[in-house]
């Protein structure tokens, strides 16, 4: 069966109460990933036809998110969900097969549930299958009315339901699987005879029934999958549920989480067995972590690769590649595509920007290295700075193998310090240093006997005059 998907992502999201007029509703992040990406994830592997995202408010924002994974069509005016689906007609209306219609702000829907929905659709030779659920509270949802054979005959909204219908537990979850050609035929018969003056997709259900088409429903096993994110409270609820789902998966795969309720792992993160993740850790983006690491103390890793047997404590690392058996932190920061070798030590209050740090190198504390290459077993002393920026251009510092850089050194790039060199503490280095050379660049110390008393008296005299 040819299978397409239309994802509705044109809504404004007024209840998000944002002052930002550019972000779309489906662009709000959940575990640092836009909501719409979760919806595409759920259906992407099932589609052998077209995936189309209908964009509108904040459309350029949404387009940038989805354009590598789906086609986009514009709903320039917000005239209802039926009108939104119509915008896909130039691409889909002549296609054979079936089409999912999904909401772009329902991130908890699982691929497995959609697979089961497809199977149900095929088994019943249905023209339309509605995804339904039985939540703890059915208030506010459209009730599913079935006939004695189990086929849907209508959906009754809360405001229109009689007392008997209000007791029905099964409700509309807002996801549909249509016979594609029949969908676009019936969309032409929609009208705006409602309070909002809009074209509603749900009105196609009654149109299908009137035509004698077979309409059935598949009920979710877990009603939480239907949860929408219409405001920030619902967004937080969805994130909590998604976090629990993701964390449970990792724990069942052999990862230890100290406090799952306070651990934040994105949907695309990979973690190897026997890795220990402490409370408050954030692992986001396409982070990939190997086996037997220990990551603790509110560490933030984003789009970072970590090898095996590392210890990372209270550090903020973005876009880095880290080898094996390194000790990093506490309070280290890396940015700008850093590459860390094996067996290194990167200590507290160290910041790296675009640094290549080779095997066995050490940088224990209170140091900034920017645009720097550090070779094997070099030792960078406390308070070292590579001055890599002159206000206009960035320059590279190259520190060779077995180099010792004394504390409080400033290296003004571009500079090359060759293998085995020794830099005296407190130096300002602005010229290359040769292999095994000793470099010292500081003023000679002068001690003036008892002159400290002169300075104190001078300061006191100035204060008294004031």
> Has residue 49 got a pLDDT over 90?
yes
Per-residue pLDDT of 348-399, as tens digits, reads 999 999 999 999 999 999 999 999 999 999 999 999 999 999 889 999 999 9
Distance CA 101, CA 103 (A): 7
249-439 under CATH 2.160.10.10, yes or no: yes
By CB neighbour count within 10 A (0-12 exposed, 13-18 middle, 19+ buried), where does 146 fall?
Answer: middle
Q: What is the pLDDT of residue 272?
A: 98
Q: Which helix (H) or strand (E) holds 118?
A: helix 111-123
- Please identify every residue annotated as catalytic: 365
Domain boundaries, the chain: 3-226, 249-439
Mapping DSSP onto H, E and C, the string for 290-319 reads CCCCEEECCCEEECCEECCCCEEECCEEEC
> Has residue 195 got a pLDDT over 80?
no
Per-residue pLDDT of 217-272, as tens digits, reads 999 999 999 999 999 999 999 999 999 999 999 999 999 999 999 999 999 999 99
Q: In 3-state terms, what secondary structure has residue 442? A: coil
Q: In 3-state terms, what secondary structure has residue 177? A: strand
Name the token pair of 247: 């964390």
Q: What is the mean pLDDT of residues 392-421?
A: 97
Distance CA 326, CA 227 (A): 42
Q: Tally helices (H) and strands (E) across the chain.
A: 10, 37
Distance CA 226, CA 105 (A): 10
- Torsion of Cα atoms, 236 then 237 then 241 then 243, to 10°: 10
Residue 22 phi, psi dihedral angles, 5° rounding: -100, -35
CA angle, 145 then 149 then 150, to 5°: 40
Distance CA 54, CA 62 (A): 9
pTM reported for the whole predicted model = 0.92
Is residue 64 within 8 A of residue 105, CB to CB? The reply is: no
Instruction: Write out the CATH class of domain 3-226.
Output: alpha beta
Sign of CA dihedral 336, 337, 339, 345: positive
Weakest mean pLDDT among 24-28, 268-272, 339-343, 389-393: 389-393
Distance CA 138, CA 166 (A): 8
């Amino acid at each position: 069966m040819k299978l397409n998907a239309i994802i509705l992502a044109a809504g404004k999201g007024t209840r998000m109460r944002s002052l930002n007029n550019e972000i779309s509703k489906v662009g709000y992040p959940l575990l640092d990933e836009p909501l719409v990406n979760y919806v595409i994830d759920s259906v992407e592997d099932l589609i052998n036809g077209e995936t189309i995202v209908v964009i509108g408010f904040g459309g350029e924002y949404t387009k940038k998110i989805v354009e590598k994974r789906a086609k986009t069509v514009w709903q320039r005016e917000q005239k209802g969900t039926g009108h939104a689906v119509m915008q896909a007609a130039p691409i889909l209306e002549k296609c054979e097969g079936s089409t999912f219609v999904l909401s772009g702000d329902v991130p908890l829907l699982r691929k497995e549930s959609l697979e089961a929905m497809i199977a149900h659709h095929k088994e019943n030779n249905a023209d339309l299958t509605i995804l339904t659920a039985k939540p703890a509270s059915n208030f506010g949802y459209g009730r599913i009315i079935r006939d004695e054979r189990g086929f849907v005959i209508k959906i009754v909204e809360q405001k229109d339901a009689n007392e008997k219908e209000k007791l029905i537990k099964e409700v509309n979850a807002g996801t549909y699987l249509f016979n594609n050609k029949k969908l676009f035929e019936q969309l032409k018969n929609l009208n705006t005879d409602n309070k909002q003056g809009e074209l509603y997709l749900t009105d196609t259900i009654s149109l299908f029934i009137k035509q004698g088409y077979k309409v059935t429903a598949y009920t979710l096993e877990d009603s939480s999958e239907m949860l929408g994110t219409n405001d920030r409270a619902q967004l937080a609820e969805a994130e909590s549920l998604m976090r629990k789902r993701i964390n449970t998966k990792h724990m069942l795969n052999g990862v230890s989480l100290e406090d799952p309720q306070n651990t934040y792992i994105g949907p695309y993160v990979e973690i190897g067995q026997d890795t220990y993740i402490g409370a408050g850790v954030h692992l986001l983006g396409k982070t990939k972590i190997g086996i037997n690491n220990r990551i603790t103390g509110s560490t933030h890793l984003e789009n970072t690769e970590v090898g095996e047997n590392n210890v990372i404590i209270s550090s903020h690392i973005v876009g880095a590649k880290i080898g094996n058996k390194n000790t990093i932190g506490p309070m280290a920061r890396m940015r700008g595509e850093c590459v860390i070798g094996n067996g290194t030590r990167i200590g507290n209050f160290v910041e790296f920007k675009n640094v290549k740090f080779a095997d066995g190198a050490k940088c224990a504390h209170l140091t900034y290295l920017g645009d720097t290459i550090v070779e094997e077993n070099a030792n960078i002393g406390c308070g070292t700075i590579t001055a890599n920026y002159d206000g206009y251009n960035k320059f590279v510092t190259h520190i060779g193998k077995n180099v010792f850089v004394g504390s409080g050194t400033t290296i003004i790039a571009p500079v090359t310090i060759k293998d085995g060199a020794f830099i005296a503490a407190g130096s300002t280095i602005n010229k290359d240093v040769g292999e095994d050379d000793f470099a010292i660049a500081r003023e000679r110390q002068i001690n003036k006997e008892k002159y400290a008393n002169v300075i104190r008296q001078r300061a006191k005299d100035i204060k008294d005059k004031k």
